[in-house]
């Protein structure tokens, strides 16, 4: 957001980052709190606000990939689930003591391990944290949980996302079971 306005009982402040201006109307009692607010907004440059906006778009796109994966899993569509991964021979998957490299190999592992709807169960992700580390890379932490008839396996994951021609995709997945 390039322009911000804060209204309180003590006064108001409007900051336009593009124009690098701010307007303050206040009562004497609010001067210090408004000064602190102005400082907190002006410590960032306009390009930082633009970067924050791009980061927010990237985080939303990554969350959309994860949401699509959960939806695909829960309808029994492993191919759709794998659309969240980069279709590359370099895609890496680590679980337990197993290391698998290559999109096709990861897909085959999923198809072998989860070959029935009962084994797939219902997937949920929670406590998802997305950290954009550059314009084309992000690190994601979270929890996974499968609800099945006879058990409820769960654990944590760390994903490295890369912005590809197809959009944000997982290039490295390290998943552990609790």
Cα–Cα distance for residue pair 58/132, rounded to 1 Å: 7
**Structural domain boundaries in the chain:** 3-43, 59-177
The answer to whether 137 touches 129, Cβ cutoff 8 Å, is no
CA-wise closest residue to 106 among 123, 125, 124, 89 = 89
Q: What are the tens digits of pLDDT across the range 5-23?
A: 555 555 565 666 566 565 6
The DSSP annotation for 64-89 comes to HHHHHHHHHHHTT-HHHHHTTB--ST
pTM flag (> 0.95) = no
Q: 59-177: which CATH topology?
A: Nuclear Transport Factor 2; Chain: A, (3.10.450)
Distances 26 to 20, 21, 38 between C-alpha atoms, Å: 20, 16, 13
pLDDT at 115 > cutoff 90: yes
Look over the chain and give the mean of its residue pLDDT values, rounded to a whole number: 84
- What does the pLDDT look like over 65-92, one tens digit per residue? 999 999 999 999 999 999 999 999 999 9
pLDDT at 29: 46
Give Cα separations from 43 to 36, 39, 47, 81, 168 (angstroms).
Answer: 11, 6, 12, 42, 30
Residue with the larger pLDDT of the pair 170 and 53: 170
In the 8-state DSSP scheme, what is residue 28? G
């Amino acid at each position: 957001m390039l322009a911000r306005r804060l209204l309180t009982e003590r006064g108001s402040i409007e900051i336009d980052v593009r124009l690098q201006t701010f307007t303050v109307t206040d009562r004497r009692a609010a001067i210090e709190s408004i000064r602190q607010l102005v400082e907190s907004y002006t410590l960032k440059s306009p390009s930082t606000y633009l970067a924050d906006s791009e980061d927010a778009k990237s985080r939303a796109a990554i969350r959309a990939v994860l949401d699509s994966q959960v939806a695909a899993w829960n309808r029994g569509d492993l191919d759709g689930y794998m659309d969240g991964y980069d279709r590359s021979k370099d895609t890496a998957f680590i679980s337990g003591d197993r290391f698998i490299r290559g999109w096709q190999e990861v897909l085959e592992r999923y198809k072998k391990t989860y070959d029935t709807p009962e084994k797939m169960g219902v997937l949920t992700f929670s406590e998802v944290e997305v950290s954009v580390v550059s314009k084309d890379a992000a690190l994601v932490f979270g929890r996974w949980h499968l609800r099945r008839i006879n058990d409820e396996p769960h654990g944590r994951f760390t994903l490295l996302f890369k912005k590809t021609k197809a959009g944000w995709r997982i290039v490295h997945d390290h998943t552990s079971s609790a």
